[in-house]
Amino acid sequence: MTNKAISLDVVDIVNEEPVALGISLTINAVYRGISFLNDKRTFPDDEESTVVCASDGVEVFGAKRKSVYNDNIMGYLASNGFGPDAIKRFLTRCGYKVGVEQSFGFYLRKDNYLQKLPMWVAKLFPQDNWYDKDVYNTTSDGGDAYTKDPQFLKSCLIYTCLSNQNKCLTFDGSDGRHYQNELCFDNTDPTRLPLALIDLNKYAAAKATALDDEEMVLMNLWYKIMNEAMQTANYNSAFTYGVYQITKELNTSKVVGTGKSKRTDYDYPWLNGDLESLRKMLKEYYKSHITEKMFKYELLK
């Protein structure tokens, strides 16, 4: 495979005049979309299921195709196209309705989910500057080299489980099954720890992948959030919670006032404040722990 690249100087327009910013971008040719890494396996004990989720993770009805149920399925991941944007990535607890109907995405299985999460994380690449947008692409050009880097896999696991964009929920399905969120770090009940936390603890216990200072700060903040969530009115002790479900169901608020005095009052301001802090810290964590390796392994080009 021959790489081709174009270097471009970034120029802004100020007072209708071009102004060079002294920044150069390299645009690389891409050859293979990231969905090439999809898990296409099926299992003999896969069962048809009527339970599907909307993009917000909530069960919806009326799917034109059946989903799949298996004890080894812990989610549904879609990472499509080249651009790293929200309309091209989804992560839900059960089959994503549109993905199931249109045959894109795949079922996230417990035996290899750690190797698949970077596909989703690549789509959340921060594009803070206007000149970053529509420049970078998600690809599989680097093959599976990234799967041999346990530090990178650990970082993507941490990012996924602390991201508010991870739409996996714990819920009771219309089929009578209880669907536990396995992609979170809820540690409130040692008898039903989610798989992601079990695997994170394994990483943390190994010398080569022990949590560094920044990761310890993130996890300590998460456990503080989890303790605060347990004190809320809507908390369900039978559920395992991730950031998204806490934000959606427990961080309740009301709008007060009108016009310019209109504001949102949170019922648990300390919880809301810590969730905001986590989002900011997680964005910096992506930059410090993930970005460089995304480009190294050509998940981003």
For the cut 90, the answer to whether the pLDDT of residue 251 exceeds it is yes
- The alpha carbon of 215 is separated from its chain's Cα centroid by a whole number of angstroms, namely 17
Residue 220's identity, in one-letter code, is: N
pLDDT digits (tens, 9 = 90+) for 150-191: 999 999 999 999 999 999 999 999 999 999 999 999 999 999
For the cut 70, the answer to whether the pLDDT of residue 2 exceeds it is no
For the cut 60, the answer to whether the pLDDT of residue 202 exceeds it is yes
pLDDT digits (tens, 9 = 90+) for 271-298: 999 999 999 999 999 999 999 999 999 9
Which alpha helices (H) appear in 149-300, and where do they start and end?
A: 150-162, 195-205, 213-229, 243-245, 269-285, 291-296
Task: Report pLDDT for 3.
Answer: 61
On the CB side of 163, CA atoms within 13 Å amount to 26
pLDDT digits (tens, 9 = 90+) for 24-82: 777 788 899 999 999 999 999 999 999 999 999 999 999 999 999 999 999 999 999 89
End-to-end CA distance of the chain: 14
**Across the chain, how many H-helices and E-strands are there?**
8, 13
Phi, psi values for residue 192, rounded to 5° = -140, 50
